[in-house]
Amino acid sequence: MGKFVIDAFLEKEWKRYLRNGKHLSFILIDIDFSKPYNVTHAYKVGDDYLKMCLLL
């Protein structure tokens, strides 16, 4: 997920929060060492690895 996608998502959710007054939470996780994994195993495999991490 790129920065622009995250920015657009946060802006949309922030506006919804202001409208509805409900709680808003956002968790950002930085997974270290993903670049060497991508270089070794290809970016498609790296993307699948990151998606798997989201399920934990």
**Every domain of the chain and the residues it spans:** 3-54
State the pLDDT confidence band at 2, using cuts at 50, 70 and 90.
Answer: confident
Give 29's contacts (C-beta < 8 A, 6+ positions apart): 53
pTM over 0.85: no
Give tens-digit pLDDT for 4-53: 888 899 999 999 999 998 888 888 777 777 778 778 888 788 888 888 88
Cα dihedral 37, 32, 2, 44 in deg (nearest 10): 20
State the pLDDT confidence band at 1, using cuts at 50, 70 and 90.
Answer: low
Whose tokens are 């919804």? That residue is 16
Which amino acid, 33?
Answer: F
